Amino acid sequence: MQKPGRIYLVGAGPGDPELLTIKAARLLDRADAVIYDRLVSDEILELANPFAERVYVGKSTGSHSLKQSEINTLLVHMARKHCHIVRLKGGDPYIFGRGGEEAEWLSLHDVPFEVVPGITAAAGCMAQLNLPLTHRGLATSVRFVTGHMQADAEPHHDWRSLADPDTTLAIYMGVKTMPVIAGKLLEHGLPGDTPVMIIENGSTPDQRHFRSTLGNVCDDLNRLDFDPPCMIVIGRVISLADRLSLPVVNLLPESTFDKNVTSDRPDGDLRYVHTA
């Protein structure tokens, strides 16, 4: 039997092609085949060998062109067909990218593979706003948390430990379950005035973001109609936006705020959106 080719599980980063690693770009340039997800931009795909076979598997939250089991089977098939295969995933393949499942399948079928990390969405999106995930006096830790569960079930987490004011929470795939997430965190003691930042299409030309609070974020999400992919960051580090972040433009109806973007809330919370 012919020796199988090598598969590279490559992170494409949060969206901006300039945030791709040098190694990822080099592997794309020499690839015989590229298997990629929906969140991989055309600009990143342009870096691939123009003669490489390209296979779109269309994975996004709640919508898959192929089931994960079918993607696993496809990877083994491509390894028997090509020498250098890039499995290209948004963000980092091992952070809510199901890269570990694909690695297990490849190992089970004796297909050699290598993992090439990418900048995960939480780091990339926050850096785009000049905001840190940890900061002395504001956050001593950061936790990456999925807001998505199988079969549309509610996310099951240790909410008591998550409701820690000294921790930054980076919620992936949490737009649809934000009412549950916010409710559980409030129920377990995280203050309603805890700052929240929602970033849609982070680090891309279509980026939008807005700042809210834990007690108001669900109403704001409904009003602004943000869609996945979104990164939700909860924690006191968001308060640094007043000093570090980009200027913001109010996109809410004028009936909500005047032209000076002043708040109509006693807590002074500003719900505003910036477009990159």
Catalytic positions are 37, 59, 173
201 exposure class (CB count in 10 Å sphere: 0-12, 13-18, 19+): buried
Find residue 113's DSSP bridge partners.
Answer: 7
Please, are residues 93 and 117 in contact by the beta-carbon 8 Å criterion? yes
Measured distance CA(6)–CA(159) in Å, rounded:
41
Helix axes 68-79, 99-108, angle to 10 degrees: 50
Biggest CA–CA distance in the chain, Å, is: 72
Measured distance CA(176)–CA(144) in Å, rounded:
17
Q: How many other β-carbons are positioned within 10 Å of the β-carbon of residue 2?
A: 6
